[in-house]
């Protein structure tokens, strides 16, 4: 058997008597045209190592394996194990880890190899997983991830709108982040209530020093927790007006108008004030 000769995903699900469990955030992509497009956007190919969270019935996994990539998948729902086993039987370079991706130790999984993350993420843990991969000890070579559209918009947001907040600053401080594909709710089985989008994030070569990143996160937490207030008020406990002036910014400005460079200037001023 080869990957191309595997039965359609709907038939595989029916043959294994599987239906989506909403508790696990299961909304499946059964159209291989869509999963192949995501694999293309991920720019992975022969010999690349890919970590996929939540393969479910394996539609995206099939598309990734077709590129010649090796896929290590982490799935919480053990019901999919027999169905996913068919991927290895069909010649795919595939390994399944059953468990919670939030608790997975990627450093241990990749053992020094470069690896790409490609996933249609469960909505309920998507943001938590992204923050783990952005800030954790292990840095992926690239991340191509499906989120609900509203979260995707918050990751790539530019200053000046409601979508711009802590997530945009953190993601864009560490990666180049682009929204690369919109996917309507009707593309999933069962359809979720909202549309989705794929974001591609490429980690920057020059990561900020951990202390600078920590300062940036503290500043953005304080500034965006009171996003309607002027910085001189929202950053009061961190130095208020003097800190904002030291960073070369207007103390009357609000968080959502501050650029990435502005937040780094605030983080640097805060670190300087403490040294
Ligand atoms: N990749 C499949 C697709 O595109 O059709 C399924 C995507 S579905 C949105 C999310 C998958 O993540 C489900 O298979 C679900 O069981 C799994 N999942 C949910 N929470 C998880 C977690 N914490 N760790 C690993 N897998 C999880």
pTM for this one?
0.96
Contact 199, 157 (CB under 8 A): no
Q: Is 120 in the pocket of ligand 1 (CB under 6 A)?
A: yes
Q: Is 128 in the pocket of ligand 1 (CB under 6 A)?
A: no
Please say which residue of 150, 176, 203 terminates a domain. 203
| Distance from C-alpha of 35 to C-alpha of 14, rounded to nearest angstrom | 20
pLDDT tens digits, 36-54: 999 999 999 999 999 999 9
Would you call 223 exposed, middle or buried from its count of C-beta atoms within 10 A (0-12, 13-18, 19+)? buried
pLDDT of residue 21: 92
Q: Percent of the chain, pLDDT > 90?
A: 97
pLDDT of residue 39: 98
Report residue 1's pLDDT band, with 50, 70 and 90 as the boundaries.
confident
pLDDT of residue 183: 98
- pLDDT (mean) for 56-63: 97
Q: Is 187 in the pocket of ligand 1 (CB under 6 A)?
A: no
Assess whether 82 and 151 both reside in one domain.
Answer: yes
Assess whether 161 and 259 both reside in one domain.
Answer: no
CATH code, domain carrying 226: 1.10.8.100
Q: Count structural domains, the chain.
A: 2
CATH code, domain carrying 105: 3.40.50.150
| Distance from C-alpha of 269 to C-alpha of 251, rounded to nearest angstrom | 14
Q: Is 53 in the pocket of ligand 1 (CB under 6 A)?
A: yes
Please say which residue of 157, 184, 203 terminates a domain. 203
pLDDT of residue 13: 93
Half-sphere exposure of 27 (CA within 13 A, CB side): 22
Q: What range does the domain containing 88 cover?
A: 3-203
Whole-number Å distance, alpha carbon 106 to ligand 1 midpoint, is: 17
Whole-number Å distance, alpha carbon 130 to ligand 1 midpoint, is: 14
Whole-number Å distance, alpha carbon 119 to ligand 1 midpoint, is: 8
Distance of alpha carbon 141 from the chain centroid: 13
Please say which residue of 154, 169, 203 terminates a domain. 203
φ and ψ of 68, to 5 deg: 95, 0
Contact 22, 165 (CB under 8 A): no
Assess whether 94 and 186 both reside in one domain.
Answer: yes
Report residue 275's pLDDT band, with 50, 70 and 90 as the boundaries.
confident
Whole-number Å distance, alpha carbon 273 to ligand 1 midpoint, is: 45
Atom of ligand 1 nearest to the CA of 123: 9
Averaged pLDDT of the chain:
96
pLDDT tens digits, 152-185: 999 999 999 999 999 999 999 999 999 999 999 9
């Amino acid at each position: 058997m080869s990957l191309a000769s595997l039965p359609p995903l709907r038939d595989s699900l029916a043959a294994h008597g599987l239906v989506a469990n909403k508790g696990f955030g299961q909304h499946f992509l059964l159209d291989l045209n869509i999963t192949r497009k995501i694999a293309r956007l991920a720019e992975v190919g022969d010999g690349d190592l890919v970590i996929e969270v939540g393969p479910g019935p394996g539609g995206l996994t099939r598309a990734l394996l077709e590129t010649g990539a090796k896929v290590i998948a982490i799935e919480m729902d053990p019901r999919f194990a027999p169905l996913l086993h068919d991927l290895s039987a069909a010649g795919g370079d595939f390994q399944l880890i059953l468990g919670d991706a939030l608790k997975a130790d990627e450093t241990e999984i990749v053992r020094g190899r470069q690896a790409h993350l490609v996933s249609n993420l469960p909505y309920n843990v998507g943001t938590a997983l992204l923050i783990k991969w952005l800030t954790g000890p292990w840095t992926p070579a690239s991340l191509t991830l499906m989120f609900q559209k509203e979260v995707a918009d918050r990751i790539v947001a530019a200053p000046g709108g409601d979508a711009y907040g802590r997530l945009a600053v953190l993601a864009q401080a560490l990666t180049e982040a682009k929204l690369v594909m919109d996917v309507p709710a009707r593309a999933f089985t069962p359809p979720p209530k909202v549309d989705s989008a794929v974001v591609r994030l490429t980690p920057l070569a020059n990561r900020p020093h951990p202390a600078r990143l920590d300062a940036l996160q503290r500043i953005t937490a304080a500034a965006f927790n009171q996003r309607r207030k002027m910085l001189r008020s929202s950053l009061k406990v961190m130095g208020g007006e003097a800190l904002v002036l030291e960073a070369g910014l207007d103390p009357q400005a609000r968080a959502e108008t501050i650029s990435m460079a502005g937040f780094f200037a605030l983080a640097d001023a805060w670190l300087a004030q403490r040294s």
